Amino acid sequence: MKRKIIALGFACMASGALAGNVAPGNVTFTDGAVQTSLTGAPGDPVRGREVVGDKSQGNCVACHANSEMSEIPFHGEIGPPLDGAGERWSEAQLRGMLVNAKNMFPGTMMPAFYKVDGFTRPGDDYTGTAAPADLDPILTAQQIEDVVAYLSTLKY
């Protein structure tokens, strides 16, 4: 039994590696939503919660209140509360907002977390020099899927 589980795990990892991630420039939007997973694999809501609350990752609570994360101080009020996000928006809409919210809400201040071109990026670590031309997105494809999985759990 143990060998079957290990073999299944390797098969899943291999199939995920072969499938690859959708590159930031290849994401397809429909009315602001992104219907297809960026990774082809389900997100992990536990890891998504970490990204939402971690200042060095998504730091979503800097702009959004989230009563489920009351242990984290200083929630922002710029964006809508995350409470009930899983009921207000579909997974595709949540994914679209995370990838580039401006496709759904043109005037939003929310950053595009999975975009690498078409906008002015900050300089290189506050040095006053321009950042390299090929910057990575703020979040990886898997982190986007993890945050979508977490936000989908937030019900009223």
125 pLDDT tier (thresholds 50, 70, 90): low
pLDDT of residue 33 exceeding 60: yes
Give the CATH number, domain containing residue 82. Answer: 1.10.760.10
How much is the pLDDT for 152?
Answer: 98
Provide the CA 89 distance to its chain's centre, in angstroms.
14
Query: In the chain, how many domains are there?
Result: 1
Neighbours of 13 (CB within 10 A): 11
16 pLDDT tier (thresholds 50, 70, 90): very low
Which tokens sit at 68? 């489920």
* Rg over CA atoms, the chain: 17
Range of the domain at 55: 2-152
Q: The pTM is what?
A: 0.82
Q: In 4-142, where do the E strands start and end?
A: none
Which tokens sit at 144? 């986007």
140 pLDDT tier (thresholds 50, 70, 90): very high
Neighbours of 50 (CB within 10 A): 16
Note the pLDDT tens digit of each residue in 73-91.
999 999 999 999 999 999 9
127 pLDDT tier (thresholds 50, 70, 90): confident
State the Cα–Cα distance between residues 154 and 152, nearest whole angstrom.
Answer: 5
pLDDT of residue 149 exceeding 60: yes
